[in-house]
Structures are given as structure tokens and as C-alpha cells.
Amino acid sequence: MKSFSLGWHLIRIYTFLIYVFMFAPIVVVIVLAFNPKQFGIFPMEGVSLRWFIKLAQNESIIDAFQNSLILGSLTAVVSTAIGILAAMAFIRFDFPGKNTLNTLLLAPIMIPEVVLGVSLLLFLRWLQQPKSFALLLIGHVVLTLPYVLLIVQARLVGIKKEYEEAAKTLGANAFQTFRDVTFPLLLPAIMAGALFSFTISFDDITATLFWATAQNQTVPVKIFSMLRNSISPEINALGAVMIVLTIATPLLAGYLSRKFSKFKP
Amino acid sequence: MKSEKWKPWALLAPSLSAVVLLLVIPVCFVIVYSFWLRAPSGADIPAFQLGNYAKFFEDFFYPGILIRTIRIAFETVILCVVMGYIPAYFFYRSESRYKQIFLLLIMLPFWVSFIIRTMSWINIMGDSGLINHVLIKIGLIETPFSMLYNEFTVLMGLLMYLLPFMVLNIYVSLEGIDKSLLEAARCMGCTEWQAFREVTLPLSLPGVSAGCLLVFVLTAGTYLPPMILGGPGNDMIANLIFKRVIGTLDWPFGSAISVILLSLLFVIVWTYNRYLGINQIFKSFQGN
């Protein structure tokens, strides 16, 4: 690389500028969350926790947080569970129509969320069911399932079938084999998949805005409705809490999975 | 293994029924609804007529929004390639021991909620936002000039959302290139630039095109940046769907617009798959 160091320097500067572009909006949200002033955005007039305290006292925001956390966790559990089963079918078995079905299960990635939002809502309307928490849950499962499937499949391909066969030869039944052999080997991918679904569910706004109601708000939907007035330090404080939560979780999980993977055979 | 024939189907049953019940059937409903009538009272009347589609194409208003959507999607794709290729190349060639951290960092915004990343442009470009504040502080301007609520800010919001997808796609295909090919090119007397142009660039094109498709599809299906950062003249097709369905509860017309959007994307994805193959797209998600 030394022979081309001028070009390489330019590449580094360019990349750095892209980082600035990507991070500026995020950093600004966190900084402004500490701005004590009531209106407007800049300049900063000192540092205060005023808006965080106000958030903690706002019941509808606490509610939205609870909803989002429960919804994200349930989505992660359901999506990961059915995603693992499907991945096992695709990687460990041969059956007619396999490729078509795989594409079908990955299709939600390529279908615009706005259409997913409308179609599920329309279906519910035809069934004459009101919007509910269940709608958010099933909607988020559909949104996140393809990602779980991709992540788990990719890992499963790398786990030799021989391990499972050995367990079976030694007398384990299918469930024991899965519990004692496949599952521990899959664990990093399962955690990654679960985490991915949690974050997608926790952050999603495009489809969720169709499905949410005033009683069943998630944090992004709450932010959206607060934005109707104008941007405020309170929104920035809420955004800052969301950012810290969604960034700390994957980092923590990455650390945990590295710790766990030490026990790999 | 004859006796095991039912097993994959049992394993697939939950996810298949979820996707069929919650995606395939609802999308069929949208198609059916797009032919229905809407009574003046607001009730939906089952029918088979093309009135909703005729309404879409009766004057230039709605097709104009469709064309704008396609134009903005192309602009976003081009900007993403221009802004995303060099960082991806940097990750590929970097020998820094912090490379993994750099990569993780560019993915981090991906974990931050779309609405926060979008609305934060108001913090930066608003009348009392960062840019105006700095410009006034250094004395370049006296009164804030308004930058928000136009196509440029919509593009900023879209880039913020989609750039990580592009970088990831390009990076994954760059990582797949056998580095000995580069060494061979260098041994044969290519300069760094020639080696890039003749070897690296062509071999990374599958990742670039996969990224382009993904960015195009995601742009065409989003309404948030125009809604938050755009003015009245910057609506895209998804905004139209949102307004018809949530705003005026006009389900048949909203469905017809959804079908039009789906058809547009279907043609694009189908053409892409026909000539380039769709699987590259899914590779980038498996990488992490």
C-alpha cells in the first residue's frame, strides 16, 4: 500500500467524512438531549438532565417503552423459534420445491414495508378484528423472520451433519440430538438472530405506524406523534435513550457470544 | 430415509403458515380490494372494475408522483454507490487492527431507529440547527437560511437510512475476491490503479448491483423521509398509500396504489433476477 499512499490517504479521508455524515445526526441527538432550553435547537445552554427526568415522569412514554420491550422480546422469541425449525428443514433435508419455498420465506425482505402494513391491516379489517397488540406481534414476526432464517441457515451450513449423526448412532433421539449437539453449536447464530429481530421490532416505524393504536404505541410511534408539533429537547432525550438501548444491546450480545463461543468444541 | 419425508414439512409448518397467512393471503386481499368500489358514505363495495386504476392515471398528478418516486430512488442509488464504494474498499484493503471496529461502526447507525436518524436532520439543518448556528457564529450569514423541506433533505434522510446497506453489500463482494488475483495483476506489472480497474472493480460489481437493487426497492417503499423532511411537493408513492389508507380511509384506492407500487418493484426485481440473480442480496445479511 505504501507505493500508493497519496491515494490511500484520500480514501481514508473520504471514509472518515462518510463516518462524520453517518454519525452527525446520532451524535447531535445525544448532545441536544442534555440541552436545558425549552424551544429551538442550538445553541446549547448548559447541561441538564431536565428532559430525561421529564421523560421518566411521562406515563404514556413509559407505557410505550414497556410495549416496545415486550413486543421486541416476544417477536425475538417467536421469530427465532420458528426460524430455527425452518432453517433445519432447508439445510438438513431435501424435498421438492425447496428453493421456491426458501425464496417465499425470504420474500418479506423484498416487499416494501408500506405494502406489508396495508395488506395485514386490510386482512384484519376483512376479518372484522380491531387493531391490537397481537397484530403488532404477528406483523413484526413476518418482518423479522427472513433475517433470522438467513442468519441461522448460514451458520447451520457450517455445522457438519456428522456430529448429529454420531449422536444418533450413540442412541440419542432427534430431540436429544438437537438439544445436546445442534443447539449449542447454533447458539451464536440463534443469539444473533434473536437480537436482530428484537432490534428490528424495537426500531420499526414504517409498518408499525399502520398497526399501532393510541393504546398500543411503541416508542418510535410515540416519537412520530410527538414530532407532529415540532422537534423538542424531549424528543431528543427519548431518542438518546433509544440509541443507547439499541446500540448497547448488540455490543453486549457480541461480547457475550464471544464469551460463549469459547466453549465451542 | 423414506420414513422421514414428513419431517421437513413439520419443521416448515409454522413459518410457512405464518408467511402464507400473514403475507401471501393479505397481499392477495390488496389485489382483490383494488378492484372494489368506495361508496360516498365510505363503505367498501365488492365489485370488479378498474375505476381505481383509471383514477390513478386520469391526469398527471398521480403518475407524476410515481415518476418522482422512481427518480428519487435512482438518485439515492447513485449517491449510495458514490458514497459507499470507497468506504467499502477502505475496509477491504485496510490492514489496521481496528478494521473490525471500523466495520462495526459503519453498521451501528443501522441499529438506531429510522425515525431518530431521519428527524435528527432537523437538528442539523433546521433554522436553529447546527449548520445555521455555526454559520451565524462565524459571521457568514446574519439570519438563518432555511434548508429543510425539499428534495435535498429527503435525499439526506434516505442516504442516512440506506448507505449502510450499500456499504455492506459492496464489502461482502470485495471480501469474496481472491487476493492472489490482485497480487498476480501487480506481478504482471499493473499499477495499483490498473489492478483496481481491471481486477477488483469488475469482480465487485455483483455486490454493487445487489446493493443498488436493495436500495432502490427500499427507497421506493418508504414514506418517512418525505413525510418528516420533505415539503408538500416531495411526496413519494408510499406517502400516497399512507395518506389514502390512514388519512382518508380510502381502502380500494389505497390498495390500487399498493398494487401499482408492487408491480413496479416486481418488474424491477424480476428483470434483475433474470439477468443477474437475486441470491447476492441475501449474502450480505448472512455475513454478520
Mean pLDDT of B123-151: 87
pLDDT band at B236 (very low <50, low <70, confident <90, very high): very high
Answer whether residue A42 is part of any domain: no
Over residues B97-131, the pLDDT tens digits come to 888 888 888 888 888 889 999 999 998 998 888 89
The answer to whether B150 and B176 are in contact (CB under 8 A) is: no
User: Any CB–CB contact under 8 A between A47 and chain B?
Assistant: no
Question: Considering chain A, what is the average pLDDT of its residues?
Answer: 86
pLDDT at A2 over 60: no
User: Any CB–CB contact under 8 A between A203 and chain B?
Assistant: yes
Answer whether residue A235 is part of any domain: yes
Of B7, B25, B109, the CB nearest to A93: B7
Q: Which residues pair with B38 in a beta bridge?
A: B44
Mean pLDDT of A52-71: 90
Over residues B60-74, the pLDDT tens digits come to 999 999 999 999 999
User: Any CB–CB contact under 8 A between A194 and chain B?
Assistant: no
Answer whether residue A24 is part of any domain: no
Query: Which of B196, B225, B216 has the alpha carbon at shortest distance from B88?
Result: B196
Question: Considering chain B, what is the average pLDDT of its residues?
Answer: 87
Mean pLDDT of B182-195: 84
pLDDT band at B79 (very low <50, low <70, confident <90, very high): very high
The confidence score (pLDDT) of residue B38 equals 85
Of A85, A123, A139, the CB nearest to B11: A85
Of B30, B121, B160, the CB nearest to A118: B30
The confidence score (pLDDT) of residue B27 equals 93
Mean pLDDT of A168-188: 86
Dihedrals φ, ψ of B38, to 5°? -115, 120
The confidence score (pLDDT) of residue B280 equals 67
Specify the higher pLDDT residue, A4 or A9: A9
The confidence score (pLDDT) of residue B142 equals 82
CB contact under 8 A, B222 and A43: no
AA letter at B44:
D
Return residues 142-181 of A near B (CB < 8 Å). 142, 145, 147, 149-151, 153-154
Query: Chain A closest CA to B57's CA: distance in Å?
Result: 20
Name every chain B residue with its beta carbon within 8 A of the beta carbon of A212.
none
Over residues B7-52, the pLDDT tens digits come to 888 888 899 999 999 999 999 999 999 999 888 777 788 888 888 8
The DSSP letter of residue B5 is T
Residue A180, domain CATH: 1.10.3720.10
Answer whether residue A53 is part of any domain: no
Answer whether residue A9 is part of any domain: no
pLDDT band at B288 (very low <50, low <70, confident <90, very high): very low
Compute the count of residue pairs across chains A and B with CB atoms less than 8 Å apart. 265
Answer whether residue A144 is part of any domain: yes
Cα–Cα distances in angstroms (integers) from residue A163 to residues A153, A158, A177, A262, B262, in the given order: 17, 12, 9, 18, 44
Best of B1, B23, B264 to mutate (most A CBs within 10 Å, chain A): B23
pLDDT above 90 as % of chain B? 39
Answer whether residue A15 is part of any domain: no
Name every chain A residue with its beta carbon within 8 A of the beta carbon of B30.
115, 118-119, 122
Q: Which domain holds residue A154?
A: 59-263
Burial degree of B209 (CB within 10 A; 0-12, 13-18, 19+): buried
pLDDT at B287 over 80: no
C-alpha A229: how far from chain center:
28
**Residue length of chain A:** 265
pLDDT at A46 over 80: no
Please report, to the nearest 10 degrees, the dihedral formed by the alpha carbons of residues B268, B269, B270, B273 taken in order: 130
Burial degree of A169 (CB within 10 A; 0-12, 13-18, 19+): exposed
Mean pLDDT of A193-213: 91
pLDDT band at A205 (very low <50, low <70, confident <90, very high): very high
Best of B116, B273, B281 to mutate (most A CBs within 10 Å, chain A): B116
Total tally of structural domains belonging to chain A = 1
Of B84, B102, B228, the CB nearest to A227: B228
Answer whether residue A182 is part of any domain: yes
Check: CATH 3.40.50.300 for B53-287?
A: no
pLDDT at B2 over 80: no
Over residues A218-238, the pLDDT tens digits come to 999 999 998 877 788 888 999
**If you measure CA to CA, which chain A residue comes closest to B88?**
A15
The DSSP letter of residue B45 is E
